[in-house]
Amino acid sequence: MGPPSPGPAEIIRASQRDKEFILRLKQDIDEIILELLGQRVWIRCQRYSQYFSGVFYYTVTNLMGFQTLGEEYVGVVQVDRSRRAIPSRKALSLMIFSQVLGAPFLSFVTKIIENFQKRQRNMSNSSPENEYLKELLDTFLGVGKLFQRFHPLLTQLHLALFYMNGKFLHFSKRLCGIQYLLVRKYYGNNDEVSKKNLKYLMYMSILNLTVCTVHDFYHYFTFLKNRSTNFELLPSAKINLSSENELNAQPSSSTTEVDSSKKCSLCLELRTHSSATPCGHVFCWACIIDWLRTEGACPICREPITPSRIVPLQNLV
């Protein structure tokens, strides 16, 4: 009989330790950049140092054939689907990429497609090949934006599944079929109290997931309905590119009259329901909440933020 599988408590504890070491590595990298290159470069590199520290940490541990410090602390090792061999280099590389760079890579590709579509609109070439490419890009862009919007819900659903079966804490490991074996039996935490607590966490996660799903779907379809209604109110649905460019070239009086100190840095319009981040920057409530669904950091200084830390400012425009 082979080594047993670890319980959910061991997997969570190993992941928490790994996050602590990755955070320490990121802080060391930030200090080096700040001392050598200055504050401006440090602000620009906040997001990239986070990605680099995660990739570097898992590369020098898992990809090199070693345990991470969190796995060594708990006493677990990674195995493939057969549970008889360690994962291959390809599986580990895919796991590292999807776990650290998956969401930002999708956001990057989506922005590239949006910029490409803007350039295509300014061109008059409408061959069948370009029409097929446009439909393909529109489909991929729609799927990408839909995934970005509902990514927190998918993460919550995956976490609830983990509390249910206790195998895959991260979606990247589920994708690659990477599991854990407990090599330090006396460290196992299989008592009934921990299992009962994890069941409570599962129920709370499912409840939270249900409420957030209903809320997000309601706002998403309301947005689509309002957009279609505004489109129907236009005098003509067919607007040629020349007239559209002329309209975009003419500055609106409402935009020029808005004080720059009252503009939102995300939508570039007059702030509505002004809300502040812990680092002191102010945005529209809807803009910063939508931003944090995919980015998880302040759009100006890249300070890590969660949506629960946004403070609405009642008496500020």
- Regarding pTM above 0.75, the answer is no
Residue 311 main-chain phi, psi, to 5 deg = -110, 115
What is residue 231's predicted lDDT score, i.e. its pLDDT? 45
Q: Which residue has the tokens 């969190």?
A: 70
| E strand or H helix at 284 | strand 282-284
What is residue 1's predicted lDDT score, i.e. its pLDDT? 54
Q: Which residue has the tokens 């009962």?
A: 196
Beta strands in the chain (DSSP E): 76-79, 179-182, 274-276, 282-284, 311-312
Residue 190 main-chain phi, psi, to 5 deg = -110, 20
Query: For 192, how many CA atoms within 13 A lie in the half-sphere containing its CB?
Result: 0
What is residue 92's predicted lDDT score, i.e. its pLDDT? 93
What is residue 109's predicted lDDT score, i.e. its pLDDT? 83
What is residue 236's predicted lDDT score, i.e. its pLDDT? 42
The packing angle between helices 128-165 and 192-232, to 10°, is: 150
Under DSSP, the state recorded for 86 is P
What is residue 93's predicted lDDT score, i.e. its pLDDT? 93
What would you report as the CA-atom Rg of the chain, rounded to the nearest whole angstrom? Answer: 24
What is residue 90's predicted lDDT score, i.e. its pLDDT? 92
What is residue 52's predicted lDDT score, i.e. its pLDDT? 92
Token code pair at residue 309: 């830390």
Question: What domains can you pick out in the chain, each with its CATH number?
Answer: 8-222 (no CATH), 259-317 (3.30.40.10)
What is residue 233's predicted lDDT score, i.e. its pLDDT? 46
Collect the ranges in the chain with pLDDT lower than 50.
231-256
